[in-house]
């Protein structure tokens, strides 16, 4: 069945990308259509339909369901704010600080530039490793919407600090 799935995806890739793009626009999500098609492919390969005729239904249904719900696996995995635990920097390769010394210096300077409240949030996010909204909400005993705002605020401040102080050096 995997060979049939491969053939279907190969022959209908552009059509699947178009469907994914329309669904992304409809649900106003920030994810690429290529990622959605790839995730749908993996899902269909792992949960193979019994009939070849059901392959398109499985693909489109998966894309629709994953984009419909904000807490879906695909959106969670590919959320652009989910940052790698090794690098808390932006995904754009130009923003990565490769050298450990430079990275540590950047983190220390950023921390010093923050208000006391922001320093506490940064400490929890960066040093304690609580990067998920739920973890931050539980740590501070606040609503998840407030934790979302705290996390996004501190990441926006870091992005701005990095652009102003380090982007031109690399």
pLDDT in tens, 122-163: 888 888 888 888 888 889 998 888 888 888 888 888 888 888
Q: How far is CA 37 from the centre of its chain?
A: 16
Q: How far is CA 86 from the centre of its chain?
A: 15
DSSP 168: G
Q: Taking the CB of residue 109, how many other CB atoms lie within 10 A of it?
A: 12
Q: What is the mean pLDDT of the chain?
A: 77
Q: Cβ neighbours of residue 50 under 8 Å, at least 6 residues apart?
A: none
Alpha helix ranges (H) inside 47-77: 55-68, 73-77
Name the CATH code of domain 93-169 (choices 3.40.50.620, 3.40.50.300, 1.10.10.10, 1.10.4160.10): 1.10.10.10
**99: pLDDT strictly greater than 70:** no
| Mean pLDDT for the stretch of residues 36-47 | 85
Tokens representing residue 152 in the block = 């996004």
> In this predicted structure, which of 18-22, 38-42, 99-103 has the lowest mean pLDDT?
99-103
**Structure confidence by residue, pLDDT tens digits, 67-98:** 887 767 666 665 544 443 334 444 333 444 44
Phi/psi of residue 29, each to 5°? -105, 155
DSSP 78: T
Residue whose structure tokens are 């931050």: 136
pLDDT the model gives residue 116: 92
Measured CA to CA, the distance from residue 149 to residue 91 in angstroms comes to 20
């Amino acid at each position: 069945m995997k060979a049939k799935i491969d053939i279907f995806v190969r022959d209908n890739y552009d059509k699947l990308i178009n469907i994914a793009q329309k669904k992304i626009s409809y649900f106003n999500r920030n994810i690429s259509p290529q990622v959605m098609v790839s995730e749908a492919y993996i899902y269909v390969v792992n949960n193979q339909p019994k009939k070849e005729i059901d392959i398109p239904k499985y693909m489109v249904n998966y894309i629709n369901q994953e984009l419909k719900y904000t807490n879906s696996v695909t959106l969670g995995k590919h959320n652009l704010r989910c940052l790698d635990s090794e690098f808390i920097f932006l995904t754009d390769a130009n923003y990565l600080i490769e050298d450990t010394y430079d990275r540590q210096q950047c983190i220390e300077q950023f921390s010093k530039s923050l208000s006391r409240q922001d320093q506490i949030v940064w400490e929890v996010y960066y040093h304690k490793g609580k990067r998920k909204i739920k973890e931050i909400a539980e740590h501070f005993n606040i609503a998840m919407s407030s934790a979302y705002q705290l996390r996004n605020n501190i990441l926006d401040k870091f992005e701005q600090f990095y652009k102003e102080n380090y982007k031109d050096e690399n």
